[in-house]
Each structure stands twice: as structure tokens, then as C-alpha cells.
Amino acid sequence: MNEQLIPGVSGSASAHTLVIFGGSGDLAARKLLPALYNLRQNNLLPEPLAVVGLGRRELDDQSYRDRLRSATQEFSRTGSPDEDSWTSFERGLYFVRGDFGVLSGFEYLKERLRTIEKEHATGGNRIFYLATQPSLFPEIIRLLGESGLSKSSGATRIVIEKPFGRDLATAHALNEISNGVFDESQIYRIDHYLGKETVQNVLVMRFANVMFEPVWNRQYVASVQITVSEADGLEGRGTYYEEAGALRDVVQNHIMQLLAVVAMEPPVNFQADSIRDEKVKVLRALRKMKAADVRSHVVRASYGEGVVGGREVPAYRDEEGVASGSQTETYVAARLFIDNWRWKGVPFYLRSGKRLAKRATEIAIQFKEVPHLLFGLSNPDGVPPNVLSIRIQPDEGISITFEAKEPGPAMRVRPVNMDFGYGESFSRVSSDAYERLLLDVLLGDQTLFIRRDETEAAWDAVMPILDSWGAEADSPLETYVAGSWGPRSAGDLLREDGFRWRRF
């Protein structure tokens, strides 16, 4: 077995065969294969590595390789693959046709794997990556168990894409099936937000610096805002989105993970379970809403027609794959509270939407106002409070606004900005989240993956909202103009507390 140490990352990666259920799909083409190729280019991939894509399309090994080469050219952050290195990389790529619901397909896969593993000497180490329709996940896992593929002479791991269930009951059922076939230490529930450099940097900023932690609590923080806004619409995924909506698609997973990372207590060390222990405590401390709370703390809406990026776009209900009377939300704003010593009484405002004015993901910590204003005479409206903004994407970085004296004889103060930009400070492009996450799976590091109890705690937190919306009379679905920042009532949610949403 060829063991290779990865610089800057703990652990060692060994030879593997990566089996992608959905190897002919969009995620594999856009993200997974370009990420693997870039890892190889940076000498981070274990050698040897074989990749077996699975799907229904009529592809053979060579047409699959050609397809992935074009996809890498189109989607990789590093552009066109280098001729020689691609030729060597593609020797490890294979395609196997089959239906994910049929046992005989798994038996055939077993045969193919035997040959491929022998040819590449991958030592029986297997990673199964579920990159297909989530409704197929339970059956695939069950058949991996029944066919015996879940057991091999080497290490076996399974990566499960989001969404993990569509409510607490289905997430729990998927966990039961997964944990029946695999041990929790073999299961990697993915949320690609955790692979982003800036999200990991929240932990570094908080726990590798002494100056933030003393003020990171209810004594000094007035509110926290987490925004995940997209200018894009459905991009051809109307059928999927109709079933999901903004709460399931973004809030339950990405936003809950950002919230957990920003609000967690310092872990005892940086081991996977120590970090996940602290994250799950935050999710469990989220105040459970009652139906009446949902009405006053949550806004939901779907976009009407409008103009985005100078282009007229249709209303959500006129999009392909969307029902004309659809009740699916494309926007959610919510006010949550974390009932623990650190955060009691501090509102956490979350919002996510499609077809908003701009693409931006940000965590903003708004601090309290100074207790006594010395400059009141020159600044009749007071001075704005400090804000620490963590930009997750685009333009990754951190900025702090603070007050400074304006030049001149009068004692006037005004907010100024201190900015750290990832690109400028490190003069290199951050790697894609999937590169980091695939590498971690190969290394067997679960830190950036979601543990069973975390995913169920995150569902538990949003279930009252879903339940309340299920009773349609109680849950008005508002409309916002595409290209705007969402419905007016989302602004009211903050205005009534004396805050306002940040603009980008």
C-alpha cells in the first residue's frame, strides 16, 4: 500500500477506489472530477486512485473519460487540463452502467471492482460517494449492505450528499439505514460549506486570537446576521427545488452549520468529535418555536418577476418545473435565539433567498453601542456600533467597522473599515471546498463532516417552521420582486428590534 503524507493536513492518505453513484451527473462533472484532478495536480491525491462513475447513460470508459475532460476544462478553477497529466489521470477513470435500485447491478459492480482494484492495486480501500437523487440514498445503502460491497479487505467509507432527509423523520430513517450498514466512523455527511476556507477560518479567528473571545457573548454582541443570498434562479433544477424550498435547501444545512461554527464554545482540542460535540450543543440550545412564534419570527416568500443583472426574469411560479400554484418558498428570513449562557437574549437573524440583488454569503456580528457617548454634541444620532463581518463568498475576507475621528477642528466621528482579504493577503486562490472535503475523506478525517446527532438536531430546530407552514392557513407566502433584497416584512423583523439587514 502506498502511504503518502499530505502537507498541512493531519493523517495520511492511502490508495483508494472512489465509486460515485451519479458519476454521470451534474455534481460529478462540475465539482467532483475537477476537484480530484486539481488534487492530483497539487500532488495531494493518494497513489494509486481509481474512480468508478455509475449511472444509466450509454457511456463506456473512453466516452466517460472524454466527457469528464470537457467538464474539467469547463468547470475547473484551474482551467484546461494539461495534456500529459490528464492522460495519466484518465487511466484511472471507469464507467459502469446500471440501475441503483437493482441488486444485480451491485453484483456486477462487485465484479468490476475486483478487476479494477487488482489492476490499480488499491488494496480494497473503497469510498462510495452518493451523488444522485436523495430519494435513492436509502435503497443504495441497503443494497451496498445486501450485496456485501460495504465490506472489503480494506477500509470502506461512504459520503452522503445533501439534502440529508427532507424532515426529521426521513433524516432519522436514513441514519438508521446508514448506521445499520456502516459504522458512524465510516459515514461522511457532506455540507460543502464546511469545506470553504473562510468557514474554517471562523474557527481560527475565534480560537487562535485572544482579542475576539472576550467580547464574543451576550455582554457585547447585540445581534448576529447570517445571509446566504443568490442572484441565480433555478438553473434548470425547478423540479428539485419545488420539493425542497429555501428552508430545506439552505437554512437547515448551510446556515445551521454557519450558526453552529460562529456560536459554539471552544472545543477541548481540534479533533473531529471535540468540534462536533460543541456544534451539536449549539443546535440543541436553539429555542424551539411554537406555531405562534413561527408567524412572528419567520418570513417566507417566493419571487415575482423582476430584473436581475440587467436581465428580465420570470416569477418563480412561471419557471420550468414549478407548479402555477406553488407554495414553495424561495426566500426565508428568521429570528432565532440560542438559550445558553453565552447567547441568551441575542437575536440571530438568518436569511436566504434566490433571485436576490446579489450573490453574497456573510456572517455579521453587530456589537452593542458604547455605554456612554462622549461625542453626543457633534453626532446627534449617536455613533453606529462596531460590526465584524465575515465574508464567506465572494471576495472572501473579514472586515471590522469602528469609529474614527474625522480630520478637522470638530470632534466628529465616523465609521471606517479595516479589511482583510484572503486573495490579497495570501496571493493565491482558495481551493474549492470539494477539494478539501474529498481529501479529508481520503485521509479519514471527519472534522468537516456532519455527525448523526448534528443533522438530527438541525432538523429538530427547523421542524416547527415546516410543521407550521404545513398548515397553509397559518403561513402566508409573500412575494418579492426578483432582484430586490426580499419582502418588506423581512425588514420589519429587524426594524422592530432596532436593527436592519446589511446591504452588500
Ligand X SMILES: NC(=O)c1ccc[n+]([C@@H]2O[C@H](COP(=O)([O-])OP(=O)(O)OC[C@H]3O[C@@H](n4cnc5c(N)ncnc54)[C@H](OP(=O)(O)O)[C@@H]3O)[C@@H](O)[C@H]2O)c1
Cell readout for 298 is 419567520
CB of 22 to ligand X, least distance (A): 3
Give residue for cell 471562523. 202
Site string for ligand X, 30-69 (x = CB under 6 A): x------------------------xxx------------
Task: Report the distance separating Cα 472 and Cα 491, nearest Å.
Answer: 23
Question: What residues pair up with 337 in beta bridges, in sequence order?
Answer: 347
Q: What CA–CA distances, in Å, run from 12 to 1, 182, 184, 306, 334? A: 12, 22, 20, 51, 42
- Which one of 26, 167, 273, 278 is in contact with ligand X (CB under 6 A)? 26
CB of 435 to ligand X, least distance (A): 14
- Judged by beta carbon, residue 123 or residue 195, the one nearer ligand X is 195
DSSP single-letter state for residue 170: H
User: Should residue 178 be labelled a site residue for ligand X when binding is judged by CB under 6 A?
Assistant: no
Residue of 16, 120, 192, 254 marked active site = 254
* Window of 10-18, 97-105, 225-233, 314-322 that interacts with ligand X by CB under 6 A: 97-105
* Window of 21-29, 201-209, 292-300, 393-401 that interacts with ligand X by CB under 6 A: 21-29
CB atoms within 10 A of CB 428: 8
User: Should residue 133 be labelled a site residue for ligand X when binding is judged by CB under 6 A?
Assistant: yes
User: Should residue 253 be labelled a site residue for ligand X when binding is judged by CB under 6 A?
Assistant: no
User: Should residue 22 be labelled a site residue for ligand X when binding is judged by CB under 6 A?
Assistant: yes
CB of 189 to ligand X, least distance (A): 11
* Window of 24-32, 210-218, 222-230, 445-453 that interacts with ligand X by CB under 6 A: 24-32
- Judged by beta carbon, residue 72 or residue 132, the one nearer ligand X is 132
Amino acid occupying residue 379: N
CB of 54 to ligand X, least distance (A): 6
Task: Report the distance separating Cα 221 and Cα 216, nearest Å.
Answer: 7
Angle at 173 between CA 130 and CA 28, to 5 degrees: 10
CB of 159 to ligand X, least distance (A): 10
- Judged by beta carbon, residue 108 or residue 367, the one nearer ligand X is 108
Task: Report the distance separating Cα 173 and Cα 2, nearest Å.
Answer: 38
- Judged by beta carbon, residue 57 or residue 114, the one nearer ligand X is 57
User: Should residue 359 be labelled a site residue for ligand X when binding is judged by CB under 6 A?
Assistant: no
- Judged by beta carbon, residue 250 or residue 383, the one nearer ligand X is 250
CB of 209 to ligand X, least distance (A): 32
Give the DSSP letter string of 354-395. Answer: SS-SS-EEEEEEEEPPPSS-TTTTT-TT--PPPEEEEEEESS
- Judged by beta carbon, residue 100 or residue 216, the one nearer ligand X is 100
Binders of ligand X: how many residues, by CB under 6 A?
21
User: Should residue 99 be labelled a site residue for ligand X when binding is judged by CB under 6 A?
Assistant: yes
Task: Report the distance separating Cα 158 and Cα 154, nearest Å.
Answer: 13
Q: In what order do the strands lie in the sheet with 16-21?
A: 93-97, 49-55, 16-21, 126-130, 156-160, 187-189
Q: What is the number of the residue whose Cβ is closest to ligand X?
A: 25
User: Should residue 139 be labelled a site residue for ligand X when binding is judged by CB under 6 A?
Assistant: no
User: Should residue 77 be labelled a site residue for ligand X when binding is judged by CB under 6 A?
Assistant: no
CB of 2 to ligand X, least distance (A): 30
DSSP single-letter state for residue 473: G
Q: Does 254 participate in catalysis according to the annotation?
A: yes
- Which one of 100, 129, 343, 499 is in contact with ligand X (CB under 6 A)? 100
Nearest to 300 by CA among 319, 328, 323, 321: 328
CB of 34 to ligand X, least distance (A): 12
Subset of residues 113 to 132 that bind ligand X, contact rule: CB under 6 A: 131-132
Task: Report the distance separating Cα 454 and Cα 451, nearest Å.
Answer: 5
* Window of 158-166, 453-461, 472-480, 496-504 that interacts with ligand X by CB under 6 A: 158-166
- Judged by beta carbon, residue 117 or residue 161, the one nearer ligand X is 161
CB atoms within 10 A of CB 434: 21
Q: Counting every residue, how long is the chain? A: 504
- Residue 20: φ, ψ to 5°: -105, 110
Amino acid occupying residue 382: G
Q: What CA–CA distances, in Å, run from 411 to 68, 381, 386? A: 63, 14, 19
Amino acid occupying residue 342: R
- Judged by beta carbon, residue 55 or residue 444, the one nearer ligand X is 55
- Judged by beta carbon, residue 25 or residue 487, the one nearer ligand X is 25
User: Should residue 488 be labelled a site residue for ligand X when binding is judged by CB under 6 A?
Assistant: no
Task: Give the distance, in angstroms, between the CA of residue 259 and the centroid of all CA atoms in the same chain.
Answer: 12
CB of 237 to ligand X, least distance (A): 7
Task: Report the distance separating Cα 273 and Cα 251, nearest Å.
Answer: 23
User: Should residue 25 be labelled a site residue for ligand X when binding is judged by CB under 6 A?
Assistant: yes
CB 169 within 8 A of CB 138: no
Task: Report the distance separating Cα 329 and Cα 421, nearest Å.
Answer: 33
* Window of 20-28, 324-332, 336-344, 379-387 that interacts with ligand X by CB under 6 A: 20-28
User: Should residue 101 be labelled a site residue for ligand X when binding is judged by CB under 6 A?
Assistant: yes
Residues that bind ligand X (CB under 6 A): 22-27, 30, 55-57, 99-101, 131-134, 136, 161-163
Catalytic center residues? 254
